[in-house]
């Protein structure tokens, strides 16, 4: 009796493992199909001047409009896309959609700001990212100054020389380069300078520490002075409160992004933000009495 129970359990374990593999394969197939059926949509989150609230750029953030699951966030499929190589096709889709959107806004006479596009490390080391961006921009008649690229620190650490070559190819095409989620990886400032990055986006984990502890400010202060000395601008990600904004202003942070300004929104709403231009929820946060 006990023996057969044990055996049953083993079978159960085995079958749940294959269930997991099956689920993964299903997901992979669904993702493949999503690419063919064009089920991806970009939302846009504003990045604004920390001092005036003026719109500086829109970050393109991909969502999967799954026929049954609804809107699937990137966390749920980017790593699978990377592991399966589908990220290359997805990257092209995101780029094409961002360029098409810019062209549409341009044709409608909307005052444009750059769109920043997240690029996976897997899209590097292929030797043609600069070319593919330039080709897509040319196809849609979009000025390269209207596109920026966000790459994580880990992407810059990989195959050093290849990455440097591809980054300089992007730069030669006039595309700005930002380091995403800065502070979570292991890049050194000398590396960032060598790669001639234009700006740092400080991970929201650090923003979350501001106004909670004095140490939170120390990190920002140090990064800010070094980044500025190296000619890079600093963006704080994940700004959720007015208090965080005030601290960032006092530290001379250049730009902010986060729910305090706006969540990522569909293109139609992003267009409204572009027309409004100044996006602080209050006219002048510095002029308000201290909380």
List contacts with ligand C2E (CB under 6 A): 45, 61-62, 73-75, 78, 94, 118-120, 150, 180-181, 204, 238-240, 257-259, 264
* Shortest Å distance, C-beta 76 to ligand C2E: 9
Question: Out of 148, 153, 166, 181, which residue is the one contacting Mg ion (CB under 5 A)?
Answer: 181
Cβ(179)–Cβ(201) below 8 Å:
yes
Comparing CB distances to ligand C2E, the nearer of 94 and 279 is 94
Pick what 199 binds: Mg ion, ligand C2E, none; C-beta below 5 to 8 Å, kind-dependent.
none
Give the contacts of 72 (CB within 8 A, at least 6 positions apart): 63, 64, 65, 66
Comparing CB distances to Mg ion, the nearer of 181 and 217 is 181
The upper half-sphere exposure of residue 198, i.e. CA atoms within 13 Å in the direction of its Cβ, equals 17
Ranges within 227-286 binding Mg ion (CB under 5 A): 231, 237
Question: Out of 101, 118, 187, 233, which residue is the one contacting Mg ion (CB under 5 A)?
Answer: 118
**What stretches of the chain show up as alpha helix (H) in DSSP?**
2-36, 78-84, 87-107, 129-139, 153-157, 160-172, 189-194, 204-207, 214-229, 242-250, 267-276
3-state secondary structure 128-190: CHHHHHHHHHHHCCCCHHHEEEEEEHHHHHCCHHHHHHHHHHHHHCCCEEEEEEECCCCCCHH
* Shortest Å distance, C-beta 140 to ligand C2E: 17
* Shortest Å distance, C-beta 166 to ligand C2E: 15
Pick what 74 binds: ligand C2E, Mg ion, none; C-beta below 5 to 8 Å, kind-dependent.
ligand C2E
> Site residues (CB under 5 A) for Mg ion?
118, 150, 180-181, 198, 231, 237
């Amino acid at each position: 009796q006990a023996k057969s129970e044990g055996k049953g359990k083993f079978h159960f374990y085995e079958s749940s493992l294959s269930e997991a593999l099956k689920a993964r394969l299903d997901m992979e197939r669904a993702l493949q199909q999503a690419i063919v059926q064009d089920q991806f949509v970009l939302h846009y989150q504003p990045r604004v001047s920390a001092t005036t609230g003026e719109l500086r750029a829109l970050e393109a953030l991909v969502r999967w409009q799954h026929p049954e699951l609804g809107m699937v966030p990137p966390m749920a499929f980017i790593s699978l896309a990377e592991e399966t190589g589908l990220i290359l096709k997805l990257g092209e889709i995101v780029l094409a959609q961002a360029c098409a959107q810019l062209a549409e806004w341009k044709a409608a006479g909307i005052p444009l700001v750059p769109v920043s596009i997240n690029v996976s490390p897997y899209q590097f080391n292929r030797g043609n990212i600069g070319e593919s961006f330039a080709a897509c921009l040319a196809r849609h008649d979009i000025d390269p100054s209207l596109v920026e690229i966000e790459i994580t620190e880990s992407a810059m650490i990989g195959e050093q020389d290849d990455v440097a070559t591809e980054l300089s190819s992007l730069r030669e095409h006039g595309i700005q380069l930002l380091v995403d989620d800065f502070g979570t990886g292991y890049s050194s400032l000398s590396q960032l300078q060598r790669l001639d990055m234009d700006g740092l986006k400080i991970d929201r984990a650090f923003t979350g520490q501001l106004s909670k502890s004095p140490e939170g400010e120390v990190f920002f202060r140090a990064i800010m002075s070094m980044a500025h000395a190296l000619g890079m601008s600093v963006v704080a990600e994940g700004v959720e409160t007015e208090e965080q904004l005030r601290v960032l202003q006092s530290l001379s942070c250049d730009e902010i992004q986060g729910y305090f300004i706006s969540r990522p929104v569909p293109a139609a709403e992003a267009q409204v933000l572009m027309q409004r231009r100044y996006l602080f929820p209050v006219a002048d946060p510095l002029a308000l009495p201290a909380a």
